[in-house]
Amino acid sequence: MGAKFGPAGNSESFAAMGYKKTIQVPEYIVRMGLDAYEYQCGRGVRISEEAAREFGQKAREYSVTLSLHSPYYISLSSIEKEKRDGSIEYILQSARAADAMGAQRVVVHSGSCSKISREEALELAKDTLKRAYQALDEQNLGHIHLCPETMGKVNQLGTLEEVLELCLIDERLIPCIDFGHLNARTFGRLNSFEAVKEVFDKMEDKLGTFRMRQFHSHFSKIEYTLKGGEKCHLTFADTIYGPQFEPVAEMIVRKNASPTIICESAGTQAEDALTMKQIYCRQKEQD
């Protein structure tokens, strides 16, 4: 098994290498030395079922593991019922597209908690996720794993503890641990092996060994402010903000985990994903 690595969407090098069409992505991924890809539906699910099937077929030909990022405007914890109901519809649209392309995982943002307490926001998000799985089951999409994501801004629902709590609702939920987001919302505290080990230990303690080993992940270096947290995504050229991938690679090997690690660097996501893969492979050889 082992970890899989790939970019979120296309790096600048995709066009620079002469590629133009989405159907060419799997070839590019393999050419870059990677084996995973997260299809971006952040601004809405706009891919047709036919195009999704063709893309999935091409990904299988190249042995590229696909996941899908659902729309950014999903809010599981909105105080407006219409928005929560709408979010379930967006999750269904995302799951249909994911299923058509053979992707097993859909990453979901949990929403904000700026107008209510974190506890109230968490309860609303739990209810929305429960209803989302009822809807998925009704449409024979219950095999799709929803992946609630840890978020980078302080006023967003999505601390590590909150995401793990959401994942307790249903065993099909897999946490999306965004190490850059966790580092940003804690103002740089994810800066040691011990801090990273704590993330893995909490995951295992709360969700069990199986789900900890299968976790989904985003990784990038992220600039943050000491007031709000996440400001913007950087590249691995950053030497100021972090976090570093080495402790994560060490914990993946120690825990015998097989996560999918998706890089969200700004424009160099495929290149930085390859750097992470190389760090991980070196760690495996040392073990």
Which tokens hold the place of 45? 């699910």
DSSP state at residue 168: T
Which tokens hold the place of 202? 């909490």
pLDDT, tens digit (0-9, with 9 covering 90-100), for 72-104:
999 999 999 999 999 999 999 999 999 999 999
Q: What is the pLDDT along the chain (287 residues), one digit of tens a residue?
A: 899 999 999 999 999 999 999 999 999 999 999 999 999 999 999 999 999 999 999 999 999 999 999 999 999 999 999 999 999 999 999 999 999 999 999 999 988 887 899 999 999 999 999 999 999 999 999 999 999 999 999 999 999 999 999 999 999 999 999 999 999 999 999 999 999 999 999 999 999 999 999 999 999 999 999 999 999 999 999 999 999 999 999 999 999 999 999 999 999 999 999 999 999 999 999 87
- Domain limits at 196? 4-286
Picking from 90, 91, 35, 11, the residue whose alpha carbon sits closest to that of residue 264 is: 11
Tell me the C-alpha distance between 179 and 199, whole Å: 9
Domains of the chain: total? 1
Percentages of the chain per state (helix, strand, coil), in multiples of 5: 45, 15, 40
Torsion angle of alpha carbons 166, 170, 174, 180, nearest 10°?
0
Q: Where are the alpha helices (DSSP H) in 190-256?
A: 193-207, 209-213, 246-254
Q: What's 21's domain CATH number?
A: 3.20.20.150
Q: Can you tell me which residue has the tokens 């929560």?
A: 84
pLDDT, tens digit (0-9, with 9 covering 90-100), for 46-76:
999 999 999 999 999 999 999 999 999 999 9
- Name every residue whose Cβ is closer than 8 Å to that of residue 61 and which is 6 or more positions away in sequence: 26
Beta strands in 175-285 (DSSP E): 176-178, 216-219, 222-225, 229-233, 260-263
pTM over 0.95: yes
